[in-house]
Homo-oligomer: A and B are copies of this chain.
Amino acid sequence: MTDPLRLGIAGLGTVGTGVVKIVRQKASLLAARAGRPITISAISARTRDKDRGVTLSDYAWEDDPVALATRDDVDVFVELMGGSDGPAKAATEAAIAAGKDVVTANKAMLAHHGQALAIAAENAGRVLRFEAAVAGGIPVIKALTEGLAGNEITRVMGVMNGTCNYILTRMQSAGLPYDTVFDEAAQLGYLEADPTLDVGGIDAGHKLSLLASIAFGTQVDFDAVDLEGIEKVTIADIRHAADMDYRIKLLGVARMTGRGLEQRMSPCLVPADSPLGQLEGGTNMVVLEGDMVEQIVLRGPGAGEGPTASAVMADVMDIARGCRVSTFGQPAKGLQKAQSALGATPAPYYLRMALEDKPGALAKVAAVLGEAGISIDRMRQYRHDDTTAPVLIVTHKTTRSALDAALDAMSRLDVVATEPVALRIETV
């Protein structure tokens, strides 16, 4: 097989531009590795006349990504436009219908339409691959789908939104409040146009739902992800957590339980000396656990031109080499919709609340926990600040339903001044 593999690239932002650069600058290296040349036939983007720092005049231009996706001289449609619906989805569907393989970095599209698109690709005998959609340059889709193919996966965890990890670690290192660091991140261009995609955990939740599908052989079910953003995490929480040798991370966890599939994306406490706890700045980390392999930890840049383009090229090179793995590691038409099991796995929790300076205040809180069947591992009351005192409690393992009952009862106590904050402590 020495015919060139011909790409059509839709979307020329940083990632698309990075892919063009790799194909142009590493032609002989790629050809040696793939056993055939990789070429670009045509490109498409919203704006044509813009200096992207790379020569584009060698390629046919299409204003319409659907037209690009269905060109006769395109073997692989590379979708780098983004957006869960609209042109990205239309062009991907058109590419598959026209018999093209598809490589995409579009986590939102796959989280919402991955099952249907994967079936369409299978029916057409084409592949739909998405290494770049999860954790940037880390080859985690490949590690999970292929590297651990001999394992029953027991848990997938990860810090998969670099912006959130930047915000949380910057709050800690600089001692700055959430709002200040959020503004910094915005000025640095780290946030999506709609920042709730980042800080609300949605972007990371998309990624988790894709990993869960591969890991557990179930249909992608983003709507079943228990989502909680980092907006409520305070600098006080970060400091208290550090005092107890924990770090706070926006952590995704997916696990198959006896009751069904548990998928959570929420701020969690992890041990400060664990690989996840030590993860600083915008770096991503994914932890894969299998019954044979025990635990594999993958760490790397979660975004950026080079790393994301590297991941796109991994998929392109696989196709060029004739490696044609199903989108989610097995035929999509055989994937079952998992029962959703939110809160199925008990865990210890970190609780923070402000108590009124009244006799018996702490006793009332302790009584509420006791009534809910929750035992206390550690408790600290700090000195009163005017009229209220911060209180921290670390519980022993409890269920989410018992915890919710206790939180509900606490909010009705006259001694609890603010709504208690509860963060899960994840064993890593």
Contacts and interface: CB of A to CB of B under 8 A. Distances in A.
Nearest to A280: B273
A322 interface: yes
Given A292-B310, A293-B306, A150 B298 contact: no
Chain copies in the assembly? 2
Contacts of A331: 32, 35
A151 B138 CA distance: 13
A420 to B, nearest CB: 34
Given A33-B329, A296-B299, A299-B296, A323 B146 contact: yes
A317 B329 CA distance: 11
Interface residues on A, range: 35 or more
A33 B323 CA distance: 14
Contacts of A323: 146, 318, 321-325
Interface of A: 18, 22, 26, 29-30, 32-35, 131, 137-139, 142-143, 146-152, 217, 273, 275, 278, 290-301, 304, 306-307, 309-314, 316-318, 321-326, 329-331, 334
Nearest to A325: B321
B30 A150 contact: yes
Given A30-B150, A143-B142, A294 B275 contact: no
A147 B151 CA distance: 20
Contacts of A310: 148, 150-151, 290, 292-293
A16 B87 CA distance: 50
Contacts of A316: 150
Given A137-B292, A330-B32, A317 B278 contact: no
A147 B278 CA distance: 25
Contact of A313 (B22, B149, B301, B309): B149
A33 B137 contact: no
